[in-house]
Copies of this chain bind each other. A is one copy, B any other.
Amino acid sequence: MATAGLYRRALPSPPAIEFASSQGKQLFKEALAAGTVEGFFKLISYYQTQSEPAYCGLATISMVLNALAIDPGRTWKGPWRWFDDSMLDCCEPLEKIKADGVTFKKVACLVVCNGGKVDAFRTDECIVDDFRKHVISCTSSEDCHVVVSYHRGVFKQTGTGHFSPIGGYHAGMDMVLILDVARFKYPPHWIPLPLLWEAMNTIDEATGRYRG
């Protein structure tokens, strides 16, 4: 009997190393000892799946806002105030995001109008060493989180533009832990930071600008 639809995709490895694999766990242990997964604990406490195919940007923001313990000031379900991806509609109509996804600029707007602060960095305005410094700084703290906008094709993954938060950094391997919000497709995985930079340094056809 044929079953309709798809059950996950095989994670192309290399370049990725699955977080829950032996090697992925070893990287995590080493990064933990080195102090560059400090932000992981709060962020993973609110790890979630994007609820719609084009909600990767919204699920990414929702995780970070919950991890930073920002009160949305409005209820989600029952009496509870809580961020979910389907509640983030202040910069762009949700129906438009459902159809077309969301741009780098709108993601920054959405964080701000929900009570967060944003330092936006684009690949055509800084260099990979600046990016690495920010990744190290944020993964070593609990007060900020790095989210990235990138093209999946650079990692040999299916799909195009995608957003996800970064959960950690491994200095020895120069790799970042991507907490992929499309968990029905790919599990969380480590990716070489220079390759992530390359994936960020691609043109978003929706805006004609560099993506990340």
Write out the residue numbers on chain B whose beta carbons fall within 8 Å of the beta carbon of A42: 20
Q: Report, nearest first, the 3 A-B pairs whose CB atoms are least far apart.
A: A20-B41, A82-B184, A5-B75
A residues 1-41 with Cβ under 8 Å of B? 3-8, 19-20, 24-25, 28-29, 32, 41
**Is A44 a contact partner of B41 (Cβ separation < 8 A)?**
no
**Is A81 a contact partner of B5 (Cβ separation < 8 A)?**
yes
Write out the residue numbers on chain B whose beta carbons fall within 8 Å of the beta carbon of A184: 76-77, 80-82
Does A172 have its Cβ within 8 Å of any Cβ on chain B? no
**Is A6 a contact partner of B77 (Cβ separation < 8 A)?**
no
Does A161 have its Cβ within 8 Å of any Cβ on chain B? no
> Given that A32-B32, A183-B46, A184-B76 are known contacts, is A81 also in contact with B6, CB under 8 Å in the complex?
yes
Does A194 have its Cβ within 8 Å of any Cβ on chain B? no
Identify A81's interface contact among B7, B73, B142, CB under 8 A: B7
Question: How many A residues, CB 8 Å from partner?
Answer: 44
Say how far A25's CB is from chain B's closest CB, in angstroms: 6
Identify A47's interface contact among B4, B47, B75, B82, CB under 8 A: B47
**Is A75 a contact partner of B4 (Cβ separation < 8 A)?**
yes
> Given that A71-B7, A80-B5, A81-B7 are known contacts, is A48 also in contact with B45, CB under 8 Å in the complex?
no
When C-beta atoms are compared, the residue in chain B nearest to A25 turns out to be B41
Say how far A192's CB is from chain B's closest CB, in angstroms: 20
Say how far A55's CB is from chain B's closest CB, in angstroms: 10
Write out the residue numbers on chain B whose beta carbons fall within 8 Å of the beta carbon of A41: 19-20, 24-25, 28
Does A153 have its Cβ within 8 Å of any Cβ on chain B? no
**Is A53 a contact partner of B78 (Cβ separation < 8 A)?**
yes
